[in-house]
């Protein structure tokens, strides 16, 4: 099945949000974030290194919207979010496509966001120890719902209007 990539062709006007996932992702944060962002009318997508279904920390399995291969060279992302734990983030940070995606996002004046469990590693590896980088959004002590809301508010303050979503992740039924 061929994916519809039209959303990324004109993505510069939509300023998408990439929520990066691998096995062991923080499903509570990731699924809450994507649902709340989409409810707010924002183009949020679950992105993974492969197209295979992914199991989170609580056993919830999702099918990503797109793979890193499909999106890592795009300059359409306003925000890249790292939810997860050390296992998930280590896998993502070992992938050069993740670094390309983050670099493109930062160069386009976008943001990198990390949960409290991932912010130290993301700051060290992706931002080269720039913990106070002005485009680095950290959860620190904020409750999950407040951090997600702050990400939504940051995204809504951008000048670009959001386009409608063409792809949606889905929870995969467990056997």
Tokens encoding 136: 């680095």
Q: What phi and psi values does residue 148 have, to the nearest 5 degrees? A: -60, -45
Q: What is the mean pLDDT of residues 38-62?
A: 95
Confidence band, pLDDT 50/70/90 cuts, at residue 130: low
pLDDT level of residue 117 (50, 70, 90 thresholds): confident
Domain 14-152 has CATH 3.40.50.880: yes
**What is the pLDDT, as a whole number, of residue 118?**
85
Domain ranges of the chain: 14-152
Over range 105-132, report the average pLDDT.
Answer: 81
Mean pLDDT of the chain: 81
Q: What is the pLDDT of residues 19-44, one digit of tens each?
A: 999 999 999 999 999 999 999 999 99
- Asked whether the predicted pLDDT for residue 9 surpasses 60, the reply is no
Distance CA 80, CA 111 (A): 6
Here the tokens at position 103 are: 């670099």
Rounded mean pLDDT, 89-117: 90
What pLDDT, on the 0 to 100 scale, is given for residue 129? 56
State residue 136's pLDDT score.
87
Whether 72 shows a pLDDT value over 70: the answer reads yes
Cα-Cα-Cα-Cα dihedral sign, residues 62, 11, 43, 139 = positive
């Amino acid at each position: 099945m061929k994916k519809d990539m039209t959303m990324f062709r004109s993505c510069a006007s939509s300023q998408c949000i990439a929520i990066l996932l691998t096995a062991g992702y923080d499903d509570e944060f990731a699924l809450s974030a994507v649902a709340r962002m989409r409810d707010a009318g924002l183009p949020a997508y679950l992105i993974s290194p492969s197209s295979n279904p992914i199991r989170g920390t609580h056993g919830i399995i999702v099918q990503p919207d797109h793979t890193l291969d499909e999106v890592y060279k795009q300059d359409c992302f306003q925000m890249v979010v790292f939810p997860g734990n050390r296992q998930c983030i280590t896998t993502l940070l070992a992938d050069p496509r993740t670094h390309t995606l983050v670099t493109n996002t930062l160069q386009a004046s976008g943001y990198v966001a990390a949960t409290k469990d991932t912010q130290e590693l993301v700051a060290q590896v992706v931002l080269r120890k720039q913990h106070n980088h002005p485009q680095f959004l950290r959860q620190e002590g904020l409750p999950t719902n407040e951090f997600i809301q702050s990400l939504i508010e940051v995204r809504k303050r951008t000048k670009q209007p959001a386009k409608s979503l063409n792809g949606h992740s889905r929870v995969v039924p467990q056997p």
